[in-house]
Amino acid sequence: MFKLEEIKLRRRSWIENAEIPASLLGLSLEDCREVEANALEVTQFWISVLRAKKIIRAAGENSCGKGLLFQGVPGLGKTTLALALIQELILTLTMEEFAVTPGKVLVRPCYFITFNDIIELKTVLMNEPNEWKDRLYQGILGESKDDAYNIRVLVIDDIGKERSSLSSWQKNLLHHVLRTRFNRGLPTIATTNIARPDWVELYGESLGSFVHEAFVYVALEPAKGDLRKPHGLG
């Protein structure tokens, strides 16, 4: 764990702008000891590829824009792992590794949002223009005219939670966000309880096929049970 007040001002502001839930603020990958070892190994390898500048805006690389898809039943540490990952990136990556033009400063290099919140954000913008929310949405897509607002690594949490009421418009929105980011060389970290073979049935053949291209698939197994159950609290 790290303490926010001990972090240098710029990186502290990045963490504060990332919308990280308070309960998981200050988390590092070293704190994810109960998460399956294979998932941690894949995550660490992905970070090494990113540090080699072969993911974020890495034109011509097979790994350009490729993110991580953490899949498993609730309580296996998917969200915890994703949030530890982006906090580690915020604390350690250089501007060059974030693919930032020299002399420029990012507003939010990493960001956390649920898919339901993306749906809500887009719905609000369709009904009532809002400059701040539009800037955030464009940054999520990686299409902001001011590159400082384009989110380099986005976490979309809980994809599939909305499946009982999913409309065609919402399916298309998910595909649009993921595809746009990938095409711009910006990786997405997604958490879901939907196994990859089931994406075709739920989201359609196009998106079901696309996840193979855009993500490294990491299936978390329930070897240690639900990590969210209280320990030592009765």
Q: Contact at 8 Å (CB) between 118 and 65?
A: no
pLDDT, tens digit, 9 for 90 and up, residues 83-134: 999 999 999 999 999 999 888 889 999 999 999 999 999 999 999 989 999 9
Q: Left, alpha or beta for 69 (phi > 0: left; psi -120 to 50: alpha)?
A: beta
Q: Where residue 223 falls among pLDDT bands split at 50, 70, 90? A: low
Over the chain, what is the mean pLDDT? 90
Q: Which amino acid is at 44?
A: Q
Q: Contact at 8 Å (CB) between 115 and 162?
A: yes
Place of tokens 């982006």: 86
Q: Which amino acid is at 92?
A: T
Most confident stretch, 9-18, 29-38, 217-226: 9-18
Q: What share of the chain is helix, strand, coil (3-state, %, to 5)?
A: 45, 10, 40
Whether residue 211 is contained in a domain is answered as: yes
Q: Contact at 8 Å (CB) between 233 and 108?
A: no
Residue 177 DSSP one-character state: H
Whether residue 182 is contained in a domain is answered as: yes
| Mean pLDDT value across residues 156-176 | 84
Beta strands in the chain (DSSP E): 67-71, 110-114, 153-159, 188-192, 215-219
Torsion of CA 109, 115, 119, 125, to 10 degrees: -10
Whether residue 232 is contained in a domain is answered as: no
Whether residue 224 is contained in a domain is answered as: no
Largest interatomic CA distance in the chain:
54
Q: How many domains does the chain have?
A: 1
Whether residue 206 is contained in a domain is answered as: yes
Given this model, what pLDDT does residue 147 score? 96
Give the residue numbers spanning the domain of 32: 4-219
Q: Which amino acid is at 49?
A: V
Task: Report the CATH number that the domain containing residue 204 is assigned in CATH.
Answer: 3.40.50.300
Whether residue 177 is contained in a domain is answered as: yes
Q: Is the confidence at residue 227, as pLDDT, over 80?
A: no
Whether residue 229 is contained in a domain is answered as: no
Q: Can you give the length of the chain in residues?
A: 234
Whether residue 148 is contained in a domain is answered as: yes
